[in-house]
Structure 1
Amino acid sequence: MDYREEADTLGTVKVPAQALWGPQTERSRHNFTTGPLMPLPVIRALLQIKRAAAVANRDLGELSDTKAQLIIAAATDLLALDDARLRPDFPLHVYQTGSGTQTNMNVNEVIAHQALTHDPTGELQPNDDVNHGQSSNDTFPTAMTITAHQGVAQVVAAVRHLVAELTVKQTEYWRIVKIGRTHLQDATPLTFGQEVSGWVSTLQHDLTYLESLTDTLLELPIGGTAVGTGLNAAPGFAQAVAAELSEAYHQPFTAETNKFFGLAAHSGLNVVHGALKTLASDLLKIANDIRFLASGPRAGYHELTIPANEPGSSIMPGKVNPTQAEALTMAATRVMGNDVTITVAASQGNFEMNVYKPVLIATFLESTDLLAGTVTGFDDKLVHGMTVDAARMRELVDQSLMTVTALSPHIGYHASAEIAQLADQQGLTLKEAAVQSGQVTADQFAAWVDPLKMTGIDDLK
């Protein structure tokens, strides 16, 4: 491999000749070699920040038009690359300095070298020009905030689509009666549409929680520089950068936030991830309900039939497993675990800065990626093709003893319990036991024990 030599404040470094990065990135990629690479959404956000900062510094008279245009052009070039072409020049890992300084400098160095493709005689200095008026301490958390906001938007879109699909099922099966279950035991009837409406409402509430908190991710700490005072940033710089970023992302970002808070605390990510954790726990419940209701086909509930997307077993021919539900439930458990990581990391602000920033944003983005992806797969490959076995549902309703609850208003709780016990002990249907008890006639039983009527479906709007 061919190398070039570049110098930094610690001395001369050999850098791969074709690499766009410089000496600090080269040192860092050898010093920090463990764990996943810095997520590309963070890199793209930093590129947008550098472009916005160049515009702001130019307009404020802090940077020459020539240098600003080179930064803008280089950042634009890099942002136009797809992930596969962008990744090679951003080789650093999540587990590095807690401020994200290595990644910030990686971006600064790559922009400076990319600018040479526009003007080989131009000299952009990564620290003085690309990073002008900035610190890693404010640019990296600004990138964190932007990417977290984007990640949440992807989750919201996926969940909205799932809600729409479940609403179709709710309508389609609104009057299909099934047995309810509480404590994992038989309970009174409801319709499958009613059961699904509970799932729909749960997810709608989760969306409300999430969206009500997301505005905290519009507050950017840019302009705080090293400790929050704004040292070396021109007056108006933060507001100008926020305006540029708002235009780039079509979001109302603001720099009107306390910078000391923005650098030392990451409460916004913490509280929003709490809503993601709540969503994950509810998705876990819904996915489990569906896979249990689809259990069988001969020795389980088998009230639902789910699509056969792939062979379910390497040894048992013909087996169909609820794989999409399993993927979603695993993702949900990961998100719940990630919430612990984020809570602990967000608590580690010491004095003027939190130094757990890379693990905070990498963990947050893992959660949003997992939720958006597995919810979409669950929706498209399971829920969409899921159907009801109405005959099986009727069979289980007929077998259940808990429809006896409809007799209580007429003959009392204790007499009704005796009928249920008689049916259970002698293997009778509930109707047979009721008539045999002498407390209910066949006509009365037919009038009083109407499973569909018991659901209250006709009283619901």
Structure 2
Amino acid sequence: MTPLYGSETAKALKILGQGQTPRTLIKAFAEVKLAAIQAQQESSSLYPDLYFHTLCDAAREIIRGDHDKHFPLPLTQGGAGTSLHMNICEVLAALANKSTNIGNEFKAQPLEDLARFQSTNDTFSTAVILMSFRILEEMETRVIALQEGLVYRETLYQEWLMCGRTEMQDALPMTLGQLFGAWAGPVERDRWRLNKVTERLRQIPLGGTAIGTGYSAPRDYVFAAEKALRRITGLPLCRSQNLCDQVAHTDALAEAARAMGLCASNLFKWTGDLLIYSSSFLAEIPQEEQQYGSTIMPSKSNPVLIELIRGLSLDVISSSDLISRYSSEGQLQLNAYLPFMAEHMIRISENLGRALTTASELLLPALKPDRALMEKNLVNSAAMVNSLRDVLGYGTIKELLPELKKAGLNNRSELILWLKNESGIEEIKNIRNLDEHFGLQRLTTGA
């Protein structure tokens, strides 16, 4: 294969080593370059008409993914993305110049022509923003799927009673539906955060050229490039009103990463709860066996889905923290670590996307709550008698609890009979409907 890239990319390869620029970033950068080419033509008629159309076709081929093998650079690089910008300029020029449709009428130069009115400072930054905006949209879609699954189970289990616990100790009765509803709450906030952060992320520095000054870029080009990029991508992008700020600072990317990191933190907390509920010690919400859990213990089953999600979530949290650190390390008018930030945004999208999909499509359907066991645990816990405090008083309940633990009850009916006949507490014998005092009717009906 004869490479389409030229000497500057070859130099970068010697420094950086062989890699592969991610598809999502190649696409975004090619969209930025296509917008720039169209704006160049609209504002300055830079290219002969036939060559202009050939050049646009070349950019569209890169957008489609036809030439990914000619983008061999890794994102772990110095230079703030300059090597990647050189790479795409060289490939665009090579594709257009080798076309048999244009003859020798015009031959574009990678830097003289295809980087005219542009700097890596504004074009690469814009490409990273495009890529990150799409990542947020995709993550929001996956968060919605998880939220819907949790809310569905909130309704499904609204009459299933269980023991609520604080600090790993029995507390008060609740329903399994309430538990799923509580789990849905943070996911709903994740959805809101991911949506809202796009308001700041949609601002682009395109047209700011070097350090956001707009050096060498005609006013008509700047406005045309913004308009063209919106048309090409279909995204609600807008040019920043403070281009020097937009080029120098990357806190909007850090905020986007933090929103996804919070989503991962919530996944980690939720699956931590499930790890307890599905454990051999509690087993109230077991999950279907996914695979054999041991090569030596036939009856061993492992919470592989929960552990997968937790491991991925920790990786996302780590990448989110690292992006914040890279953002703070920007110096003066540019952040040279933007390629590293882009790499970790992609890593976040892969790991968080996989964690969310695993949660909604595999883990939720695999959960099989044990209603009988939950009720048995409830009636043998302090939770039920705690709910009688208004009737019996604090001290009486403290005296009652040791005897209750010895009773070995299985369900609520047995508990009521035990309280009336075996507890020795006269006040209970005169209560006609203990369920009302347990608060169970309110829990299961919302009344």
Instruction: Return the TM-score normalized by structure 1.
Output: 0.89
1:379 aligned onto 2:379: no
CA distance in 1, matches of 2:17, 2:337: 17
1:166 aligned onto 2:150: yes
The letter for the 2-side match of 1:447 is L
Map Cα deviations across residues 332-354 of structure 1 (whole Å, 9 max, x no partner): 11121112211111112211111
CA contact (8 A) 1:403 1:449 kept: no
Map Cα deviations across residues 246-297 of structure 1 (whole Å, 9 max, x no partner): 122221111133111111100111112221111111111112222321223x
CA distance in 1, matches of 2:197, 2:347: 19
Query: 1:115 and 1:319, CA in 2 relative to 1: closer, same or farther beyond 3 A?
Result: farther
The letter for the 2-side match of 1:68 is F
Which of 297, 302, 307 in structure 2 is aligned with 1:326?
307
CA contact (8 A) 2:143 2:190 kept: no
CA distance in 2, matches of 1:358, 1:117: 30
Query: 1:448 and 1:388, CA in 2 relative to 1: closer, same or farther beyond 3 A?
Result: closer
Which of 154, 167, 182 in structure 2 is aligned with 1:198?
182
CA contact (8 A) 2:129 2:202 kept: yes
2:346 alignment counterpart: 365
CA contact (8 A) 1:62 1:234 kept: no
2:163 alignment counterpart: 179
Which of 387, 393, 405 in structure 2 is aligned with 1:406?
387
**Structure 1 residue 103: Cα displacement:** 0.7
CA distance in 2, matches of 1:238, 1:291: 54
CA contact (8 A) 1:264 1:354 kept: yes
Map Cα deviations across residues 406-455 of structure 1 (whole Å, 9 max, x no partner): 2210121121112113434x556566477434344346386157656176
1:417 aligned onto 2:404: no
CA contact (8 A) 1:335 1:367 kept: yes
1:55 alignment counterpart: 38
- Structure 1 residue runs of 5 or longer lacking an equivalent are 1-16
2:412 alignment counterpart: none
CA distance in 2, matches of 1:186, 1:238: 64
1:255 aligned onto 2:239: yes
CA distance in 1, matches of 2:204, 2:97: 30
CA distance in 1, matches of 2:67, 2:427: 77
SS at structure 1 position matched to 2:315: helix
CA distance in 1, matches of 2:207, 2:6: 25
CA distance in 1, matches of 2:138, 2:17: 30
Which of 292, 295, 305 in structure 2 is aligned with 1:311?
292
SS at structure 2 position matched to 1:444: coil
1:10 alignment counterpart: none
- Mean CA deviation greater in 139-148 or 231-240: 231-240
CA contact (8 A) 2:161 2:174 kept: yes
Which of 82, 87, 97 in structure 1 is aligned with 2:78?
97
**Structure 1 residue 192: Cα displacement:** 0.6
CA distance in 1, matches of 2:370, 2:439: 17
- Structure 2 residue runs of 5 or longer lacking an equivalent are 410-414
1:459 alignment counterpart: 446
Which of 70, 92, 104 in structure 2 is aligned with 1:111?
92
CA distance in 1, matches of 2:439, 2:299: 35
Map Cα deviations across residues 126-176 of structure 1 (whole Å, 9 max, x no partner): 112221210111111101111110001111000101111122211211111
**Structure 1 residue 366: Cα displacement:** 1.2
- Counting only pairs closer than 5 Å after superposition, residues 445-456 of structure 1 correspond to structure 2 as 447=434, 453=440, 456=443
CA contact (8 A) 1:151 1:369 kept: no
**Structure 1 residue 230: Cα displacement:** 0.7
CA distance in 1, matches of 2:247, 2:67: 28
2:218 alignment counterpart: 234
Give the number of equivalent residue pairs: 436
SS at structure 1 position matched to 2:170: strand
Which of 87, 94, 111 in structure 1 is aligned with 2:68?
87
Query: 1:450 and 1:20, CA in 2 relative to 1: closer, same or farther beyond 3 A?
Result: farther
CA contact (8 A) 1:324 1:382 kept: yes
The letter for the 1-side match of 2:320 is D
SS at structure 1 position matched to 2:163: strand
Which of 433, 436, 454 in structure 1 is aligned with 2:423?
436
1:38 alignment counterpart: 21
**Structure 1 residue 87: Cα displacement:** 3.1
1:71 alignment counterpart: 55
- Mean CA deviation greater in 122-131 or 24-33: 122-131
Instruction: Return the TM-score normalized by structure 2.
Output: 0.91
1:12 alignment counterpart: none
**Structure 1 residue 399: Cα displacement:** 1.4
CA distance in 2, matches of 1:170, 1:237: 54
CA distance in 2, matches of 1:62, 1:318: 74
**Structure 1 residue 234: Cα displacement:** 1.6
User: Kindly, what percent of the aligned residue pairs are identical?
Assistant: 25
SS at structure 2 position matched to 1:436: coil
CA contact (8 A) 2:28 2:63 kept: no
CA distance in 2, matches of 1:235, 1:252: 21
Which of 145, 149, 153 in structure 1 is aligned with 2:133?
149
